[in-house]
Amino acid sequence: MTNALHDMVAWVIAWAHTPHATTALAVLAFAESSFFPIPPDVLLITLCLINPAQSVWYALVCTAASVLGGAFGYGIGRYGGRPLLERFVSEEKIQAVERYYKRYDVWAVGIAGFTPIPYKVFTVSAGTFLLDFKRFLLASALGRGGRFFLVAGLFFFFGEPIGDFVKKYLNLLSVLFAVLLVGGFAAVHWWSRRQGGDTRQGTAARKPEP
């Protein structure tokens, strides 16, 4: 299995040296969002190493294709995902994932899109649990775009010398950014609830005596 994945990665990287490299990147990003096992970062990093000046363009292509692939995965989940989940995942775990989505909604997709977590798991399950499609697309664009443009930005500004750093620490950087993202969401949520509570208390205090 390991040798098969290694050969598949080598096959993906080989596309970077062909005239169809950008098209291959788009196809890979689309497929990985719903069923393909190799993440598009493999080809994206290779292309950015070869041509750092085009890094932002590669990130744009990768993001657009990945979001479209996520929409395809959402469709798989909406119209056939539940039977697939019940076949390969226990009912207890399905219910746990469903509770997770009910608590965090589409932002779970956005965070997963930025981290090393397999994105396809979240796109298919998002359709299965009927998350709002428009908000799902927005969260996908923010999560995937954040990850790919982070890679592209490093190559665009620092060029080839940053390559080893990106390959070694990309997943760590993604996880750290996701933690900060979650912390930001939690802070905004806490502040909103606090403001709402203060407003209600102030209204109650000003309520005239009968």
CA angle 48, 53, 58 (to 5 degrees): 50
Burial of 164 (C-beta count, 10 Å sphere; 0-12/13-18/19+): exposed
What amino acid occupies position 86?
Answer: E
- The confidence score (pLDDT) of residue 164 equals 61
Alpha helices in the chain (DSSP H): 2-14, 21-32, 41-50, 55-76, 82-88, 91-104, 107-114, 119-128, 133-158, 163-206
- The confidence score (pLDDT) of residue 128 equals 85
- The confidence score (pLDDT) of residue 99 equals 72
Kindly give the parts of the chain with pLDDT less than 70.
1-3, 5-6, 85, 87-90, 93-94, 96-97, 100, 110-117, 159-210
- The confidence score (pLDDT) of residue 14 equals 86
pTM above 0.75, yes or no: no
**151 and 59 Cβ atoms separated by less than 8 Å:** yes
- The confidence score (pLDDT) of residue 33 equals 87
- The confidence score (pLDDT) of residue 199 equals 44
